[in-house]
Amino acid sequence: MTLMKPRTLAMILAGGRVDELNVLTYYRPKSAVPFGGFARVIDFPLSNLMHAGLERVAILSQYRSYSLINHIGIGAAWDMLGRHRGISILPPFKGSGKSQWYKGTADAVFQNLDFVQHHTPEEVLIISGDHIYQMDYRQIIAYHRAKDADLTIAFLPMPLDRAHRFGVAELDDEDGELGGRVLRYEEKPAKPEHSWASLTVFCFKPQVLYDVLAANARDDHSHEFGRDIIPRLLREGRKLYGFKFRGYWGYTRTIDEYWQTNMDLLGPAPRIRLEEWGIRTNLEHRGIRDCQPLKVGPAAVIQDSLVYNGCVVEGRVEHSILFPGVHVKPGAVVKDSVLFFNNVVEADAGLFKVVSDVNTLFGAGSVVGGSAAGLRQEVTVVGWNNQIPAGTVIGAGCTIYPHLPPGRLPKEVKTGEVVQC
């Protein structure tokens, strides 16, 4: 049997960090941030690609790539191994010609056009590596082919009062609920007039992509798909179509959004269903595969929570997500929180609406995140490799930077304060 060469090359934009996620991206790109109790954010687009049979993938990475590279491995977790399958991680490089750090999303692809052209794809699918959603990319590719489009973009309906944070478009009704021609597009307008928000899922004709990236590199000072490439193509009169997506889409650019998207896994009717979505992850990363089963003590209470293998719960866990290796000791309370790998919550400590990075110890009797009052308060974020001394009180909406030296953390951190090294 002759193996068919893939018609579509997928490229994942996965290299950046965002200041709004603060200490969670201090040592890793946003795409490698843990999510949902066992996964990473990039697992969602990778799993979407796997289920769509799109298994020739390039990952464009720049910022602190070690965590991402370690997680991706050789791509085996997503069955991306074989003659015409595989994951290639493409960091910036220094060569004999012009090469440098990626200056934007468009420049990242432009610097790797030799890779794209080597694979001679019939279309290039460019997607963001830092959103939470389930999409069958075969649908947008089929629509792109049917319209003979130069570029097809996935859009989601967005309320106008939130649309200013996105690239937004006006679409006609050429194909009804399926999609339509892109008539206008603006990147993060101060006063948006249109409500179709870009998901950063782009399907290009290869030659159109080559030409527009070359023109952008030659003529422009900015090198972003939303800000520069899409407006240029519209000015040139190219055929741009919008594919209308109406499923769940989690935007995790801020701490509040990241927390809320995790909380969408919980409750009587979760908006995200990881098993139904078929999310894959690298179980070798951080030894998840080898974790012992969950241990629950005789006085423990677990309500409306996701608690994974490797955890030990002897206290109370409510409406929270615990990654492998978390230990909640007797009398401790964890509520409305997300605790990454290998956190320890000592006896009688209380965590309320907290996101805590890996390897953090919360001392006995400490109270972090305000009070048990709950969901109205701001999220408190604790960076990795910290030790919160016994009896410490940290208010709501606080930020604790990673790996604070002994004695740097005061006995009381008031609401909204930031503690840095």
Q: Are residues 244 and 392 in the same domain?
A: no
Q: Which of 215, 243, 263 is the last residue of a domain?
A: 263
What proportion of the chain, given as a percentage, has pLDDT over 90?
Answer: 82
- The range of the structural domain enclosing residue 302 comes to 291-419
**Do 231 and 331 lie in a common domain?**
no
Name the token pair of 55.
């298994």
pTM of structure: 0.93
Whole-number Å distance between alpha carbons of 85 and 73:
14
Residue 16 binned pLDDT confidence (cut-offs 50, 70, 90): low
**Contact partners, residue 74, CB within 8 Å, separation at least 6:** 81, 87
Cβ atoms of 29 and 67 within 8 Å: the answer is yes
> Which pLDDT score, from 0 to 100, does residue 1 have?
34
Examine the fold and report which residue of 245, 263, 281 is the final residue of a domain before the chain moves on. 263
Nearest partner of 245 among 339, 148, 143, 356, judged by Cα: 143
pLDDT at 12 over 80: yes
Asked if 118 and 13 sit in the same domain, the reply is yes
Instruction: Give a yes or no: residue 268 inside a domain.
Output: no
The answer to whether residues 243 and 302 belong to one domain is no
Cα Rg for the chain, rounded, in angstroms?
A: 23
**Residues 66, 159 within the same domain:** yes
Position 96 confidence tier, pLDDT thresholds 50, 70, 90: very low
53 plus 190 within the same structural domain: yes
Q: How confident is the model at residue 83 (pLDDT cuts 50, 70, 90)?
A: confident
CATH number, domain with residue 141: 3.90.550.10
Q: What is the mean pLDDT of residues 294-303?
A: 97
Give yes or no: residues 85 and 186 share one domain. yes
* Residues 330, 256 within the same domain: no
Sheet-wide strand order for 301-303: 301-303, 316-318, 333-335, 350-352, 367-368, 393-394, 412-413
Range name among 88-92, 132-136, 143-147, 219-223 with the lowest pLDDT average: 88-92
Q: What is the mean pLDDT of the chain?
A: 92
Same-domain status, 229 and 93: yes
Question: Is residue 281 in some structural domain?
Answer: no
User: How does residue 6 score in pLDDT terms, banded at 50, 70 and 90?
Assistant: confident
56 assigned to some structural domain: yes
**CATH label of the domain that carries residue 399:** 2.160.10.10
Regarding whether 303 and 190 lie in a shared domain, the answer is no
Residue 140 and residue 229 share a domain: yes
- In angstroms, the CA 280 to CA 48 distance is 9
Token code pair at residue 372: 């048990």
DSSP, res 346: -
Strand 387-388: give its sheet, edge to edge.
Answer: 295-296, 312-313, 327-328, 344-345, 361-362, 387-388
How is residue 26 written in tokens? Answer: 């201090």
Q: pLDDT value at position 2? A: 39
3-17, 67-81, 243-257, 303-317, range with the lowest pLDDT: 3-17
> For residue 68, which of 100, 92, 43, 32 has the smallest C-alpha distance?
32
Residue 407 Ramachandran class (φ > 0 left, ψ -120 to 50 alpha, else beta): left
Q: What is the pLDDT of residue 63?
A: 72
Give the distance from CA 281 to its chain's centroid.
13
Residues 74 and 27 in one domain: yes
Is 155 part of a structural domain of the chain? yes
For residue 313, is pLDDT > 50? yes
* Domain count of the fold of the chain: 2
Element (H, E) at 250: strand 249-251
283 within a domain of the structure (yes/no): no
Q: Which of 252-256, 294-298, 317-321 has the lowest mean pLDDT?
A: 252-256
pLDDT, residue 20, reads 76
Q: Is 389 exposed, middle or buried (0-12, 13-18, 19+ CB in 10 A)?
A: middle
Secondary structure class of 414 (helix, strand, coil): coil
Tell me whether residue 141 is in a domain: yes
The predicted model gives 368-385 an average pLDDT of: 82
Total number of residues shown for the chain:
421
pLDDT of residue 332 exceeding 50, the answer is: yes
- Residue 2 three-state SS: coil
Which of 28-32, 289-293, 316-320 shows the highest mean pLDDT? 316-320
